[in-house]
Amino acid sequence: MTKTAFVSIIMRVVLGIIFIFHGVDKFQGISNVEAWFSSIGIPGVLAYVVAAIELIGGILLILGLFTRYVAGLFVIILIGAIITAKLSAGLLGNGQMAGYELDLGFILVSLYLVVADRSPFSIDSFIMSKRSV
């Protein structure tokens, strides 16, 4: 296994863990998240959609299943979060709200996972190796 493949695995698993925690956190306070979404002009029902994508997507990333699609969804969600909620706070935040610097980092990791070769120790890699036989 190359160094790049090893780092890809770490990036995929760690990003998956981060998004699982974010999804669980949203579901634990879903009524507050739904109200907050509504307060910034986003339909409240999208709170459930985002929480589900974060939770299920995080699990799928750890498993390495549909990695490119999940990472692409994360890019869309993160760009949406920056545009709708964090842009006005600035890159580093404004003292009342976090900035979007971490979102940019997560976008870069997600974009890498969208375009990178399939990492070993993933279900995607296992499926593709079975197809080529």
> Model-level pTM?
0.92
HEC letters along the chain: CCHHHHHHHHHHHHHHHHHHHHHHHHHHCHHHHHHHHHHCCCCCCHHHHHHHHHHHHHHHHHHCCCHHHHHHHHHHHHHHHHHHHHHHHCCCCCCCCCCCHHHHHHHHHHHHHHHCCCCCCCHHHHHHHHHCC
Q: What percent of the chain has pLDDT over 90?
A: 83
- What are the sequence ranges of the domains in the chain? 3-120
**35-89 pLDDT, tens per residue?**
999 999 999 999 999 999 999 999 999 999 999 999 999 999 999 999 999 999 9
